[in-house]
Amino acid sequence: MSSRVSKLAFIARSAASYAAFAVSVTALGWLALRLEAVPTVQIRPWELESAPLIVVDAGHGGHDGGAVAGGLIEKSLSLTLARQVRDHLQDLGLRVKMTRDSDVFVELEERSKIAADAKAAIFVSLHLNTSDTPSVNGIETYYAEQKSLAARRVVKGTRGRDASEMLARSLQKQACLGSKAEDRGIKAKNYAVVTHTSWPAGLVECGFLTHAEESAKLKRADYQASLTRGIATGVTDFLKTQPAQTAGSLEIPLRIENEEEVKVESKDP
Ligand SMILES: [Zn+2]
């Protein structure tokens, strides 16, 4: 082999080594960037087994329009918000079932039955509020003061006695944080959908249609997104407080010492 050929071979080998080195450096850099981009691994309880099912209930529907004020009709806005809550929850890896996904009338008992049949882990109902006083505004969340006898009978354990109250607190907190609306707090009242549901159930009154500023905000897509993302966060915050368990075993009714049937409000709000 001439010295000229061996020199060329040496150059070729060196070039190949440099190329291999450059590829390695690039690969390492890429890997480092990838590792940096990977968020902290968080295994949520519901990712270990099947995801809990959340029933999202849009208040009213069909011939029952609910409240009408501020150019809004409750049955339409509650459905718009419910669909957004569903989407956020699904993005978070949860399963969702709606009690209605169109403008149809669904009996209150049927809404609870849908949740029971689906073995829902959580029931969230969405409504809009009105007041004779135009200055009243803000969000409030209801939970059953006492679950109905039928709802109490399907309960399986003794943990989390006040689960519905905890859920309501979580929904209320995150809905207000997300929307920056006035926080009117949580309230115990035996509205049918939360009373007849065996599992943690909350009813969010998402704002007052009779308050000019609030009803204007409720029409805005960005406000709806903040509000509904807050409600979804309220659901996941609550789930994080619950030990990993199968859907349907979360709830313990409130005040189980009273074995008498409870009096349910004749209508949901
Ligand atoms: Zn309503």
Cα-to-centroid distance, 27 and ligand 1 (Å): 58
Which tens digits make up the pLDDT trace of 117-138? 888 889 999 999 999 999 999 9
- At 241, is the pLDDT very low, low, confident or very high (cuts 50, 70, 90)? confident
Give distance in angstroms: CA of 82 to centre of ligand 1.
13
For residues 146-169, average pLDDT = 71
Within 8 A by CB and 6+ apart from 85, the residues are 56, 124, 126, 228, 231, 232
Kindly state the average pLDDT of the residues 53-71.
Answer: 96
Q: How far is the CA of 142 from the centre of ligand 1 (A)?
A: 12
Q: Please say if the pLDDT value at position 143 is more than 90.
A: yes
Instruction: Read off the tokens for 67.
Output: 């409240």
d(CA 236, CA 71): 33
In CATH, what is the architecture of 45-241?
A: 3-Layer(aba) Sandwich (3.40)
Task: Report the pLDDT averaged over residues 67-90.
Answer: 97
Calpha distance 1→4 (Å, rounded): 8
What tokens were used for 90? 């699904």
| Mean pLDDT of all residues belonging to the chain | 82
CA 126 to ligand 1 center in whole angstroms: 8
- pTM (2 d.p.): 0.78
Identify the pLDDT of residue 50: 72
Q: How far is the CA of 61 from the centre of ligand 1 (A)?
A: 10
Q: State mean pLDDT over 233-256.
A: 67
86 Cα to the center of ligand 1, angstroms = 18
DSSP string, 118-179: TT-SEEEEEEEE--SSTT---EEEEE-SS--HHHHHT---SS-TTHHHHHHHHHHHHHHHHH
- pLDDT > 70: what percent of the chain? 72
- CA of 127 relative to ligand 1 center, distance in Å: 4
| Tokens, residue 141 | 């969340």
pLDDT at position 243, please?
Answer: 66
The rounded Å distance from CA 204 to ligand 1 centre is: 9
What is the pLDDT confidence band of residue 183, given thresholds at 50, 70 and 90?
A: very high
The alpha carbon of 211 and the centre of ligand 1 are apart by a number of angstroms equal to: 16
Residue owning tokens 């150059």: 11
Report pLDDT for 56: 98
For CA atoms 59, 72, 69, 128, the dihedral sign is positive
Q: How does pLDDT run across 13-48, given as a tens digit for each residue?
A: 665 555 555 555 555 554 455 444 444 445 455 554
